[in-house]
Chains A and B, each alone.
Chain A
Amino acid sequence: MKHFDVVVIGGGHAGTEAAHVSARMGASTALVTMKVSGIGVMSCNPAIGGLGKGHLVREIDAMDGIMGRVADVSGIQFRLLNRRKGPAVQGPRTQSDRAVYQETMLKMMQTTQNLTIVEGEVVDLFMKGDVVSGVCLADGSEISAEAVILTTGTFLRGTIHIGDKSYSGGRMGDDASVPLADRIDGFGLPTGRLKTGTPPRLDSRTINWDGLDRQEADDDPSLFSFLSSTAPLRQISCGITHTNSRTHDIIRENLDRSAMYGGHIEGVGPRYCPSIEDKIVRFADKESHQVFLEPEGLNDHTIYPNGISTSLPAEIQVDYVQSMTGLEQAKILQPGYAIEYDYVDPRALNADLSVRDVPGLFLAGQINGTTGYEEAAAQGLVAGLNAVRRVKGVEPVHFRRDQSYIGVMIDDLTTRGVAEPYRMFTSRAEFRLSLRADNADQRLTEFGRDLGCVSDRRMSSYARKNEQLTSMRDLLSETEFTPKQIAAQGIRINQDGTKRTPFQVLAFPNVTFEQLAGLVPDILEFPQPIQEQVARDALYANYIARQQKDVERLRKDELLKIPVGFDYTAISGLSAELQSKLERVQPADLAQAARIDGMTPAALALVLGRIRFLEKMSA
């Protein structure tokens, strides 16, 4: 029997990131996938990043992960979203060339040391007592491992719906993995059902592009990786068309034939990504909806019409697509479909993404109820890191909410569970002003280095940048100047007698480095990206200082650990509802308990009282 330290099942965005970090940390790693050609496939919209999502990719990159680098190599339409809003909420995004993304990812995996790709179907997990200790493949072979990471996406009891037709399967053309689902059932993990939809894919040669609005790429692309300097591929624009009253009529008349409205689907879909049927029913007074026509690659005729995902029968899809301007002759290459799948309630997981009751097993990606490549990859990173730590017999590593979007997501999932496919938003991060895309490396690269997942090359490039940032900030904070001295540089300031450092002055509107150079001439020596980042730090400095108090309170509560196997039924005065929620989540500390939905200060006081009581008893 072959043996690896870590086995990763699945070659999607969670699986690749998990396998790569595991191998990067020196663990012998196997990635088992049904088809090698399926590694790095973008099964939905070929785009990476966006708001909240772009932050996740930067964070993965700061830990030396791969998603950002592959996205930079394959990006064909880089746009920085929210360019005109505060830097804390700006998010990089790009359209990707689907084929280039996949090739690049595959090559990257194939050339990674310590990583073996195994083509085959995992039909079962291999158990040693209660502990997962390997996988069984369809060909009868077995691979033993210290830790197994399951990243099987929608493959668990996936059902595809097109109109009133439905069949079992994961992505189009793939088989759903039923035996593995039985094993998961055997663990008795809580599961739920979700759904998601895709639009029909169109042939770009049959679209009349004349007269359609265009959305261009940025002139100056904002890349994902801190190591990338250029976007190698040609940049393209997307077309924009709109639905109209005829489109809406066609859809309305055929609603009963939609899988979603015909009662064939029970799963819960995401509210932020509704099907076109949903949009027309729920926002009936809206006369038109935007549809982005996104090319899937430079040498690919496939167009992804973003905004019209559907589960109507194929012939109705032709009718409504062709009712839109520019699409009168459009040919559908592949009809849109809805997919329903099982997910595991992530409250059954620890914060390292290991399954609480099944030692040796980690879950990452869509199987945990999330949606999106970036969310999946970030979980892959966390699971991969922690699988290696399990192998090495060291403590799991937790990502904190005040440290990263990754931490926000993991905590949301494991503490609050999901009610719909979970997607990252910047509004989920209460420490948003300090968790910026531009400072992901400041937050995570050294952390990653200490964990052993950051290469020397990245570390030295980070160290150079960090040194410049520090010395520029120090220079600006060294000396205080009077309002009179500051005003002499042409800066508008209250003559209130308060002395200020140039760093504080930088937070004022419309202050330039040229003006500040009158006070501290050396600052002009620093490269522009360093200047820009220091300016962003200055802008938020006051708010971050205020939030620091919240962070401290959080840390204090995090130190109040709740012992494993804590008996919530022994607490009198705790409502039955909160008791069962606490039992389900099994919070690790008081801070996590406080974030459970519906938690009250009175109940927390009771939990704290019980912890103190137990401490006293054991002392």
Chain B
Amino acid sequence: MDTIFALATAQGRAGVAVIRISGPEAKSCAEQLCGSLPGARQAVVRILRDDVGETLDQALILVFDTPASFTGEDVVEFHLHGSIAIISAVLRELGKCNARMAEPGEFTRRALENNKMDLAQVEGLGDLIEAETEAQRQQALRTVSGELGQRIETWRSQLIRAAALIEVTIDFADEEVPVDVTPEVQSLLSAVEKDISNQLNGFSAAERIRTGFEVAIVGAPNAGKSTLLNALARRDAAITSEVAGTTRDIIEVRMDLGGLPVTLLDTAGLRDSGDEIEAEGIARAISRASAAQLRIFLAEPGEHLSVPVSKGDIVLAPKADQRNDDVPAISGLTGHGVDELVSSVTATLSERARNAGLLTHERHRAAMTKALSTLSSASALVGVGPEHYDIAAEEMRVAIRSLEAVVGRVDVENLLDEIFSSFCLGK
């Protein structure tokens, strides 16, 4: 196994830069630069020198012994002054040791290989590093902590128990084992089914937290949509003019609303248009706005627009600065009603975000959906009685394997372990 090293912090100038070394030679490599090392998990300051004794930097040194480290291997960290020159000098010096530069993601891959993390945790780590808002941070941290892996472990052990009950009646039919295990198997299956379907219900919210909620501003031409977008974004993101149909492409603005990542969409004004380019813009507006998680309609009372209003959508009359009626209205120009709109959108999205489950990636959703469908068919087959236990067992095997795909893999020995620890066999 090679020893690897790399800069663990961002490239460029900074107060502190961390270089991480991992592998069987991590300590001996580090010693070549800094002399003696401290004991594990003790911070010391050392002078780093090159092979002719020239000082490179004064650094804080941390040592982690295998297996209690990020990668599960021996790890040494140099906390350096964050100068580009120092970093490259230290990396160059490490290159002379019995070690090589890590490939991208190699530390994490070793953590995965050494069972320090499961696949979902690795995904969570990626999300955590990418996190821009508070909700994203919290969600990614939950995944990194291994909560999904733990939940899957629970479901898996329940399903292995259910499968073991079925298998024991099959493989040990002539021994003293329960003949009809249907009730216990069905209660195990339905508990897991319920949990998984709850998590699936929370998938879209979780995925939104990860990738961002889309909020579309919809209305007739010249209703003031682009002006509202600019007011919300507090900058001139979209071109505004008195000419109806100015906006044709969809303009996107990323925002942080109450910790949630939100993409605001400014769309072309909806009307029948003979202009080919505008018509295409309108078609895109309709499809994108319909797919968004929330829509802000700028519409006169009774006005019909070709995007349907869904539950939770916000409907306001445009150009509040130019009207005298008491219809709820908004004006991007004067800022009238903008704060209220922001709190209303934030409240609606926060409410939806509360449903977020542990499944955050499409890969998780696909695996869980498959597990759920095989579980319900297993449950139905078990209900028929022992006659179809063999087919039910096959469905459960597929379900367990789908769950495992999210974090690892299944093994027939697990099943036999469960069987042998629960039943007294051997007539």
A binds B: yes
A602 touches B427 (CB 8 A): no
Query: B387 contacts which of A79, A85, A426 (Cβ < 8 Å)?
Result: A85
Within 47-65 of A, Cβ neighbours of B (below 8 Å) are at: 50-52
Binary contact readout A303-341 vs B (1 if CB under 8 angstroms, 0 otherwise):
000110100000000000000000000000000000000
Given the contacts A81-B174, A573-B110, A86 and B388 also touching, CB distance less than 8 Å: yes
Within 1-59 of B, Cβ neighbours of A (below 8 Å) are at: 1-2
A50 touches B174 (CB 8 A): yes
Chain B residues positioned under 8 Å from A274 (CB to CB): 424-426
Query: A427 contacts which of B113, B114, B174, B415 (Cβ < 8 Å)?
Result: B415
Binary contact readout A269-311 vs B (1 if CB under 8 angstroms, 0 otherwise):
0111110000100110010011110000000000000110100
A601–B425 alpha-carbon span in the complex (Å): 35
Q: Assess whether A217 is interfacial by the CB under 8 Å rule.
A: no
A271 touches B386 (CB 8 A): no
Which residue of chain A has its CB nearest to the CB of B384?
Answer: A509
Within 183-217 of B, Cβ neighbours of A (below 8 Å) are at: none
Binary contact readout A226-269 vs B (1 if CB under 8 angstroms, 0 otherwise):
00000000000000000000000000000000000000000000
Chain A residues positioned under 8 Å from B426 (CB to CB): 270, 272-274, 279, 307, 309
Given the contacts A274-B426, A572-B2, A86 and B390 also touching, CB distance less than 8 Å: yes
A13–B415 alpha-carbon span in the complex (Å): 29
Chain B residues positioned under 8 Å from A307 (CB to CB): 426-427
Which of the segments A29-37, A119-127, A428-436, A553-561 contacts the partner chain? Answer: A428-436
Chain A residues positioned under 8 Å from B389 (CB to CB): 85-86, 89
A427 touches B1 (CB 8 A): no
Within 322-362 of B, Cβ neighbours of A (below 8 Å) are at: none
A270–B420 alpha-carbon span in the complex (Å): 10
Binary contact readout B383-408 vs A (1 if CB under 8 angstroms, 0 otherwise):
01011111101100100000000001
Secondary structure of the B side of the interface? helix
Chain B residues positioned under 8 Å from A432 (CB to CB): 390, 393-394
B171 touches A52 (CB 8 A): yes
- Chain B nearest CB from A235 CB (Å) reads 17
A602 touches B112 (CB 8 A): yes
Indicate the member of A270, A290, A572 with the most B CB atoms within 10 Å: A572
Query: B113 contacts which of A286, A289, A291, A574 (Cβ < 8 Å)?
Result: A574
Which residue of chain A has its CB nearest to the CB of B167?
Answer: A427
Q: Assess whether B411 is interfacial by the CB under 8 Å rule.
A: yes
- Chain A nearest CB from B335 CB (Å) reads 54
Indicate the member of A86, A509, A578 with the most B CB atoms within 10 Å: A86
- Chain A nearest CB from B43 CB (Å) reads 29
- B contact residues, total (Cβ < 8 Å): 39
Binary contact readout A589-604 vs B (1 if CB under 8 angstroms, 0 otherwise):
0000000010111110
A427 touches B416 (CB 8 A): yes
Q: Assess whether A143 is interfacial by the CB under 8 Å rule.
A: no
Binary contact readout A109-129 vs B (1 if CB under 8 angstroms, 0 otherwise):
000000000000000000000
Chain A residues positioned under 8 Å from B386 (CB to CB): 84-85
Chain A residues positioned under 8 Å from B420 (CB to CB): 271-272
Chain A residues positioned under 8 Å from B367 (CB to CB): none
Which residue of chain A has its CB nearest to the CB of B106?
Answer: A573
- Chain A nearest CB from B168 CB (Å) reads 9
Indicate the member of B109, B425, B426 with the most A CB atoms within 10 Å: B426
A207–B425 alpha-carbon span in the complex (Å): 25
Chain A residues positioned under 8 Å from B415 (CB to CB): 427
Q: Assess whether B236 is interfacial by the CB under 8 Å rule.
A: no
Q: Assess whether A528 is interfacial by the CB under 8 Å rule.
A: no
Chain B residues positioned under 8 Å from A543 (CB to CB): 391, 394
Q: Assess whether B173 is interfacial by the CB under 8 Å rule.
A: yes
- Chain B nearest CB from A439 CB (Å) reads 14
Q: Assess whether A88 is interfacial by the CB under 8 Å rule.
A: yes
B113 touches A576 (CB 8 A): no
A436–B85 alpha-carbon span in the complex (Å): 70
- Chain A nearest CB from B373 CB (Å) reads 12
Q: Assess whether B412 is interfacial by the CB under 8 Å rule.
A: yes
Given the contacts A433-B391, A575-B114, A576-B1, A283 and B171 also touching, CB distance less than 8 Å: no
Q: Assess whether A82 is interfacial by the CB under 8 Å rule.
A: yes
A306 touches B109 (CB 8 A): no
Chain A residues positioned under 8 Å from B114 (CB to CB): 575
Q: Assess whether B321 is interfacial by the CB under 8 Å rule.
A: no
A433–B114 alpha-carbon span in the complex (Å): 36
Q: Assess whether B170 is interfacial by the CB under 8 Å rule.
A: yes
A427 touches B171 (CB 8 A): yes
Within 87-102 of A, Cβ neighbours of B (below 8 Å) are at: 88-89, 93
Query: A425 contacts which of B171, B388, B390 (Cβ < 8 Å)?
Result: B171
B425 touches A433 (CB 8 A): no
A433 touches B424 (CB 8 A): no
Chain B residues positioned under 8 Å from A575 (CB to CB): 1, 113-114
Given the contacts A85-B386, A432-B390, A272 and B425 also touching, CB distance less than 8 Å: yes
Chain B residues positioned under 8 Å from A50 (CB to CB): 174
Binary contact readout B45-87 vs A (1 if CB under 8 angstroms, 0 otherwise):
0000000000000000000000000000000000000000000
A576–B67 alpha-carbon span in the complex (Å): 13
B390 touches A603 (CB 8 A): no
Indicate the member of B1, B112, B173, B420 with the most A CB atoms within 10 Å: B173
Which residue of chain B has its CB nearest to the CB of A275?
Answer: B426
Q: Assess whether B256 is interfacial by the CB under 8 Å rule.
A: no
A84–B172 alpha-carbon span in the complex (Å): 14
A600 touches B424 (CB 8 A): no
Chain B residues positioned under 8 Å from A290 (CB to CB): 175-176, 427
A43–B40 alpha-carbon span in the complex (Å): 59
Chain B residues positioned under 8 Å from A270 (CB to CB): 426
A426 touches B394 (CB 8 A): no
Indicate the member of B170, B397, B409, B412 with the most A CB atoms within 10 Å: B170
A432–B391 alpha-carbon span in the complex (Å): 10
Which residue of chain A has its CB nearest to the CB of B408?
Answer: A600
- Chain A nearest CB from B315 CB (Å) reads 42
- Chain B nearest CB from A187 CB (Å) reads 28
- Chain B nearest CB from A9 CB (Å) reads 31
Chain B residues positioned under 8 Å from A51 (CB to CB): 170-173
Indicate the member of B384, B393, B427 with the most A CB atoms within 10 Å: B427
- Chain B nearest CB from A217 CB (Å) reads 13
- Chain B nearest CB from A611 CB (Å) reads 18
Within 173-202 of A, Cβ neighbours of B (below 8 Å) are at: none
List of 10 A-B pairs having minimum Cβ-Cβ separation, nearest first: A86-B390, A283-B424, A271-B420, A273-B426, A307-B427, A572-B2, A427-B167, A425-B171, A89-B390, A89-B170
With A273-B425, A279-B426 given, name 11 new contacts (CB 8 A). A84-B386, A85-B169, A86-B391, A89-B389, A271-B416, A430-B397, A432-B390, A433-B390, A543-B394, A574-B1, A575-B114
Chain A residues near B (Cβ < 8 Å): 50-52, 79, 81-82, 84-86, 88-89, 93, 270-274, 279, 282-283, 286, 289-292, 306-307, 309, 425-428, 430, 432-433, 509, 540, 543, 547, 572-576, 578-579, 597, 599-603
8 of the cross-chain contacts (CB-CB < 8 Å) are A82-B170, A85-B170, A307-B427, A309-B426, A426-B171, A430-B397, A430-B412, A573-B110
